Each structure stands twice: as C-alpha cells, then as structure tokens.
Amino acid sequence: MSDKTNEKNKLETLEKRVQELEKENAGLKATLEQEAQEHEKVSMDLAIGLSEAFVVLQKISQGDFSVRASEDVENELLARLGVVINRTNDALSAAKAQTQNMIKELATPVIRVWDEVLVLPLIGTLDSQRAQHVMETLLERITKDGARIVILDITGVPYVDSLVAANIAQTMEAVKLVGAEGMLTGIRAQVAQTLVKMGVKITGVETKSNLAEGLKEAFRRLGVKAIQEKQPGD
C-alpha cells in the first residue's frame, strides 16, 4: 500500500516538474523571439543610417557642402558617425572658402604706382567671373583713392575669349564713367588678333606696348618729369 502511494507521489512531482519546464521553455522562446526582432530592427536601422551617411559623403566628395548628416538618431554609433561627417564637412567647406578668397585677392592686385596712378597687372587666364571681379575691385579703388589714370596691364594674359574681351572693353568704359582715364598696356599678338577679329571696340582708351610706356604716358598727362641724373655705371 505505502509503495503504491509513494509511486503516485513521485509521478505527480514529475508531472509538475514537466509542466514547470514547459512553462520556462515557453518564456525562453518568447524572449528569444523578442531579441531576434530587436536585433533585426537594429541592423535595419544601421543599414538605413549607413546608406544615408554614404549619400551625404558622396555629395561632399562632389563638392556640395550644403548637405548635413543627421546627428539626432537613436543609434549611438550612427549619431557619432553623423557628428564626425558634419565636422569634416564644416572644416572642408571653410578651407575651400578660404582658398577661393585667397585666389581672388591674389588675382586682382591694384597697385598705386604714383599719386593718382593705379596699375592693375593681370596674370593668367581670365574667365568672365574673374573679369567681373577685376572690374568691381578696380572701380572701388578709383572712387576710394580718387585716381586719375588707371593702367590695365595684360602682358600676363596669353589669350582671351569673346566674353572676356567684351568685359575688358566694358571695364575701360566704366573706368571712364566713374571719372578716371583708362589705359591698356601689354596686349599680346594673340589677344590683339582676337580683339580685332571679334570686332570688340575699345574706344577712347590709349593702348601702349608695355607698362613702362604706359607709365611714361601717365607722367606726361600729369605733367610729371622723370630726369636721369647719371648714366648707369658712372
């Protein structure tokens, strides 16, 4: 009799144990599923975030500094990536702006060679943007300094296109309008050909072969005399 009850009791405990295990198993399965889902979501977020970051980087590499990577995302890694990209972007665009400014300044050196005489030596190729900048800078200086004579020396300009030729003619006209006399020196053979072939009229502007001749003419107009007191070597 006692053996039978014992057996029954054992069976009951075992059944209970099985039930408990089953419950535990179900719980574990649920957590696993949940974790798998979360994992999937994170990797999805990462993939989307990374592809967005790539698009931004690609635009930056093409010189478009107006794009921003998103820094305000849930994923910490992506947020950090965004911050780094944006910082790099800022640094690059600042450097580019600085270089452009420097080129602009170097490209238009207006020099006062005598009282009321300005010289602007142009070197290298001229595009219409630079020609426009030259015109603005020169006119500003004329009004500021009250210059009488302006010599535009284009010895260093090997060739011009039609737009630039027109721009030079316009600059000379504008110089006259603000109240100074313009002079053009150092026109190269190639440039002279272009100007005439394209019918660009540069009216009322004295042209001299080189800067020295231009300066002499400026002195003549101002009534300034340069006297050579000694022969070189004496």
Partner 1 sequence: MAELSFLTFRGNIIVALHGEMTDSSVRNFQSHLLEEIERIHARGLIIDISALEFVDSYMARVFVETAKMAQLMDTRTVLVGMKPEIAITLIQMGLSFEGVFSAVNLDRGLEILEKERARKRGRR
**Contacting residues toward partner 1, per CB under 8 A:** 135-136, 139-140, 142-143, 146-148, 170, 173-174, 176-180
Closer by beta carbon to partner 1, 78 or else 122: 122
Helix pair angle (162-178, 128-145), 10° resolution: 10
Q: How far is the CB of 154 from partner 1 (least distance, A)?
A: 19
> What is the Cα–Cα distance from 61 to 89, expressed in whole angstroms?
10
Closer by beta carbon to partner 1, 135 or else 218: 135
206: enclosing H helix or E strand? strand 206-208
Q: Which of 205, 222, 211 is nearest to 148 (CA)?
A: 222
Phi and psi angles of residue 118, each rounded to the nearest 5 degrees, phi first: -110, 140
Q: How far is the CB of 149 from partner 1 (least distance, A)?
A: 11
Closer by beta carbon to partner 1, 55 or else 224: 224
Q: How far is the CB of 211 from partner 1 (least distance, A)?
A: 23
Closer by beta carbon to partner 1, 135 or else 164: 135
Q: How far is the CB of 122 from partner 1 (least distance, A)?
A: 18
DSSP structure string for 97-148: HHHHHHHHHHH---EEEETTEEEEEEES---HHHHHHHHHHHHHHHHHHT-S
